[in-house]
A and B are shown apart, each in its own frame.
Chain A
Amino acid sequence: MRLSLGFIIRESVDGLRRGVFHSYITIAAMIIAVTMAGIFIYSIYNLHKAAEGLLSSLQVQAFISMSVPEQNHTKLAERVQQFDPRWTVEYITRDEAAAEFAQEFDPELFNILKVNPLPASLRINLPAEMMQPDSISKVIDRISAVSGIDDVIYDHELLVLLHAGMNKLTIWGGIIAAITIFIAIGITFNAIRLKIHAQQDAMNLMSLLGASPALLHALYLCQGAILGIAGGLISAGIIIAIAGAISLRLTSDIVIALPHIYLLAIIGGILGIIGSLLAVRRYLAV
């Protein structure tokens, strides 16, 4: 006797069709739960990306001692670069520093002072993974130890703030996503539980006609998967629409990324299967 996939799919679809109102309600509830989970997951993802962008724009600035002759500045830059090839080290001359300062603050300041008090510096861009409050202090110590470097600065407060924000976001987003996933499983569990109660006589009859427990279980797992996939697909559509609507209101350089959005359908299917598996194990008596 074969475990006929065609029979399982047909019976499952028929089973959902027989209780069509209940199936629609379940799919609607699944859509809400999976959409909520999707919104939180993609919000976390996009906010993380934005935070990483901010982190990568944070720079470490190492000021070169006035006592170091200008012809040695490049060598100093090369030495710092040798610490890690992933770093981007940019040498800023005293004149360039003054020009930047004048542009940002007061163009007349140096005319009044008659002298440029700004030192030459190295601007160092670190990869995002090194921009951690703990690991960056080691980087600062290494650069500070280089002879000819007077001082090393970076925006410590912003770095700490960004990391604290990202951590909170991950924890709360994770909790909310987990709750919505739990709700989605609960919804399928309840839907399949009701179906099992409604169809218990039919299942007993099928069992007496030769249906194996595995076959009967598969019918409900398939129903759970269908409900979950349908809910997940519609959720994916809703999230794409929401992201599109938000993008229209944002400036053109901000893009909302929805990588692997199709996974929502697969996630929906998996949640549906888990929910129905729990219901079948608990309530299906054959």
Chain B
Amino acid sequence: MASHNDDTEESGDAVTDGGVVEEQQQTGFGPITKLNERFGSDFVESSQFWLPPFLLVGLFVYGAIIWNVMISLTDFQGFGTPDYSDLDLEMYARALSDSGFVDAAVNTFVLLIGFTLVTLAIGLGLAILIDRNIRFENTFRTIYLLPMSLSFVVTAQFWAWMYNFNNGVINIVLTSVGLDRVDWIGSPNIVLWAVVFALMWQFAGYAMVVYLAGLRAIPDEHYEAAKVDGASTLRMYWRVIIPQLKGSTISASVVLMVFALKAFDFLYSLVGGYRPPNGADILATKMVREAYANLNWAYSSAIAIMLFLMALSIVGPYLYYQYKEGHL
């Protein structure tokens, strides 16, 4: 049989895994050498860089969460120090039988889902418009993203005024087209959606930026191929482009949900106090109110833990997905 070797033209055959280096330091004494052997040659020397920040985060974030779990098991009321000798799940049971908690949980859920979906949809629409090879693209993009740079406290001021019953822009517009005024903040059935809308105003630009990055990563050939195949613009986006934005959608929705969980600042500033308008109480506001207005420390800790678990159930799968995709 005749055969001849193919010339290998591709370069770089390095099977490198710098991490598995277990070089011993000449200067190292027993324990350091051992640590380096186990963790890799730069472990000890590089720890001066990552260890202090890591300890800070470890203590303040993870230490605090564990501490919070402990407090939630006591019946601490804010005087002296919590009594850790008698731990039970009483506060969690109390939460489940507290209609205020259930309402807040439901509201949190509605806010989370409603806000995220609305914002993603608007953000995607904005990104597609911006991506249509327009002039002054930078100006449009900058202004659409502008509300994101504002504080929740500031946007709450603007929207309190927008939603004002007598003189707010929205009601003025409604009456000018012959509709009745709506009490946006005062109606328990409406207020949550008013909040969703205001938050959408603040964060649609964020979703737009994420989607825009995703759109820009799609090769031009895909647009051209769809055109050549005779797809209409709408169908091209629906069948070819949007399916490729899965990654952007996932990361944007996780971040948006986390923003929604932090909507406390907005609701607090809307009314200037711990008690949000009726119908808009969410776990984040209830937790802070129970702790700092009612001094139910243990109870608020339990609410905080449940809020945390809610966040974890969103972020956990996301981080796992990122890890699997090799983005970490």
- A and B assemble together: no
Q: Name A residues whose Cβ lies closer than 8 Å to a Cβ of B.
A: none
